[in-house]
Structure 1
């Protein structure tokens, strides 16, 4: 790997020296030196003083990540082993927890290597690569995993642009191929996972704490509406917590079979539950028309979605989405409002909530708020990398 001197402007240099991990495109004053993703970058100020070492790798957030602020530290096998070993040690409590067998083992820049995540699924490992640049160093990562973990098998997902085409695929890498779906545990609940079936695995690990809260505090005796339900994980949590019924709504046709699968592995009679394959916004209109009300509504939309009728952007449309949810939530009922959009803060998210309730003429109280769980390690100084924002709200009247 080549090492290239990259000149950064004063403002970015100050941020990088303080610990900011992302190399932004507009930070670079000599962009003509950036040739091949995977090249190592020696970041220097206008006086050619060393700031940090990183790598060149285009992704939606920037053009690369800082790896070390020690000029003498080599970016080699030992570097990757030190970072991955430390990440595994930080999660030693998870290893001892027999009730949760799926979690994030390595979380990108939070564990020292931006653009790389590693998830653990009961002995199986899923490595996700977010740029061509970090993917060029895969031999180090897989070498480290071969050395320090006893994997049943390793799979990978590539999530980066190639010749203008977005790639989101997964592949078997090594070990004994899994007989999918495998069943993992999360706080004692069962979830079916497939690591070799397109972009998704069957469960979003970052919502573990939210599912536990829904199960333990807000479900007993209630009818729960789970919108953008994907594979019905929130519905499983609600029923595990004593919900009398769940309604799961998602536009994707495969959500029906996947939700039935998740119910089945938990011994839940799926025929006693409502599973709707339809646009969530159409369902809101249907519910209003039929005067349906729910004790709990779960809102966990994608940051951006497009159907034949609608285009949804959480940055622009979350307030309207909440208004629809408020209209069909019982008095004293609860709304679990969640977003994974990193482009706005929790403070901004709360303004969406406030505007929605004011427009609806309804009072509310935020009972809980949360962000990423502990295994999704982030730097406290840079909250913009802690993308998950969740508020559990009670509708007061």
Structure 2
């Protein structure tokens, strides 16, 4: 077993069970562990601190797994963690109206670098660390034993794999390849999911609760769904009686899938209009044309992948929300989100306050959105709370 020595004064986060140790906090590595090996972390006096995955190519050199020296990080350990994570999602799937959710959420489920999403009878997996890559065989075997999926597909095409010295992957890991569209159900609404070619793992199940919350306000309203992807907010709004919904997304594949989803659910196609366009440009076109809406949803991609990008991202969020506020009818609602982990909710509120000031509007925060229970936030890892949002009344 290889040993890694922590620098003096760097013990606090480890003792508080934060799962990351950065390369600059390491005093010495004894031996030459391979990337993804499980190593023993010691303090400078040689006392045990934790077991963790090692990777000398990553800024996060150690991803900690276990703080009890007597616990072996073996196949049984991985099987137990997978089982606990899967069992904890049973409530999400219990009512029969939802058959898609996140089964494993990386550090939150003590499996750093592993994302597993359930899409009906298929599983989509993202492997983002060398440690998980080294142990994926037993993890896949346990997922098969517990769930008997028709197929498990590897969507490990995230850029973060490069930081771990891993190449992208897009392939079947077990069972059959998924069809072009896998039909899943969320809150009684059916979606066609393209696992192989869709964004991320294929679908954004982290907005499940928020789609319902926004839809409750949509009856009789004119709704604009920006960054609509395959139509989560659009479909919920139409189902709840929106007078009209306009969906904007830059992806032709997403727009085509959204249209199919409207037909799939028997919703009123005449009440829907889709636009394939850059959202920022389209919002400015709406402004020039004098177009207005009662509800606008802004669910953009991650603008701040790291804290170093936060200032630039804040300006982008401010400009996006400013334009949206100018398109709202008096008393209209803005449901606006950030999926950037570096953007905390207080900073996001400040950004919206700046946007309102520049737009000459007053804003009331009437609801705070967050990620659902299948995306838990571990108390020792607040970085896991990446999704935040606000429902704003613009007056």
With the length of structure 2 as denominator, give the TM-score of the two structures.
Answer: 0.91
Task: Please tell me whether residue 390 in structure 1 is matched to residue 389 in structure 2.
Answer: yes
Equivalent residue, structure 1, for 2:307: none
Secondary structure at 1:118's aligned position in 2? Answer: strand
Question: What pairs with 1:184-203 in structure 2 (closer than 5 Å)?
Answer: 184-197=184-197, 199-203=199-203
What is the CA distance between 1:33 and its match in structure 2?
A: 5.6
Question: What pairs with 1:32-111 in structure 2 (closer than 5 Å)?
Answer: 36-57=34-55, 62-111=60-109
Equivalent residue, structure 2, for 1:19: 17
Task: Please tell me whether residue 295 in structure 1 is matched to residue 294 in structure 2.
Answer: yes
User: How many Å separate the matches in 2 of 1:338 and 1:22?
Assistant: 27
Equivalent residue, structure 2, for 1:114: 112
User: How many Å separate the matches in 2 of 1:57 and 1:103?
Assistant: 30
- For the 8 Å contact 1:76–1:140, the answer to whether it is kept is no
User: How many Å separate the matches in 2 of 1:374 and 1:51?
Assistant: 30
Render the CA deviation track for 1:246-292: whole Å, top value 9, x for unaligned.
11111223232122122121112445421111111211111111111
Equivalent residue, structure 1, for 2:208: 208
What is the CA distance between 1:49 and its match in structure 2?
A: 0.8
- For the 8 Å contact 1:315–1:341, the answer to whether it is kept is no
Aligned residues: 387
Secondary structure at 1:243's aligned position in 2? Answer: coil
Render the CA deviation track for 1:142-196: whole Å, top value 9, x for unaligned.
1222333222221122234459998554321212333331211111111111222
What is the CA distance between 1:57 and its match in structure 2?
A: 4.2
User: How many Å separate the matches in 2 of 1:272 and 1:368?
Assistant: 27
- For the 8 Å contact 1:10–1:45, the answer to whether it is kept is yes
What is the CA distance between 1:87 and its match in structure 2?
A: 1.1
User: How many Å separate the matches in 2 of 1:8 and 1:277?
Assistant: 51
What is the CA distance between 1:238 and its match in structure 2?
A: 1.1
Equivalent residue, structure 2, for 1:263: 262
Equivalent residue, structure 2, for 1:341: 340
Secondary structure at 1:375's aligned position in 2? Answer: coil
What is the CA distance between 1:63 and its match in structure 2?
A: 2.9
Alpha carbons of structure 1 residues 297 and 199: separation in structure 2 relative to 1, 3 Å: closer
Secondary structure at 1:29's aligned position in 2? Answer: strand
Secondary structure at 1:190's aligned position in 2? Answer: strand
Secondary structure at 1:292's aligned position in 2? Answer: coil
User: How many Å separate the matches in 1 of 2:117 and 2:57?
Assistant: 20
Task: Please tell me whether residue 182 in structure 1 is matched to residue 182 in structure 2.
Answer: yes
Render the CA deviation track for 1:55-110: whole Å, top value 9, x for unaligned.
02479872341110111211111101111111122122134221011001111111
Equivalent residue, structure 2, for 1:364: 363
Bigger mean CA deviation after superposition, 312-321 or 86-95: 312-321
User: How many Å separate the matches in 1 of 2:41 and 2:164?
Assistant: 27
- For the 8 Å contact 2:3–2:30, the answer to whether it is kept is no
Question: What pairs with 1:347-358 in structure 2 (closer than 5 Å)?
Answer: 347-358=346-357
Alpha carbons of structure 1 residues 198 and 191: separation in structure 2 relative to 1, 3 Å: closer
- For the 8 Å contact 1:223–1:244, the answer to whether it is kept is yes
Equivalent residue, structure 2, for 1:6: 4
What is the CA distance between 1:197 and its match in structure 2?
A: 2.2
- For the 8 Å contact 1:169–1:199, the answer to whether it is kept is no
Question: What pairs with 1:131-142 in structure 2 (closer than 5 Å)?
Answer: 131-142=129-140
User: How many Å separate the matches in 2 of 1:252 and 1:166?
Assistant: 27
Structure 2 gaps, min length 5? 305-310
Alpha carbons of structure 1 residues 269 and 166: separation in structure 2 relative to 1, 3 Å: farther
User: How many Å separate the matches in 2 of 1:61 and 1:219?
Assistant: 45
- For the 8 Å contact 1:58–1:131, the answer to whether it is kept is no
Bigger mean CA deviation after superposition, 264-273 or 124-133: 264-273
Alpha carbons of structure 1 residues 166 and 111: separation in structure 2 relative to 1, 3 Å: closer
User: How many Å separate the matches in 1 of 2:245 and 2:57?
Assistant: 38
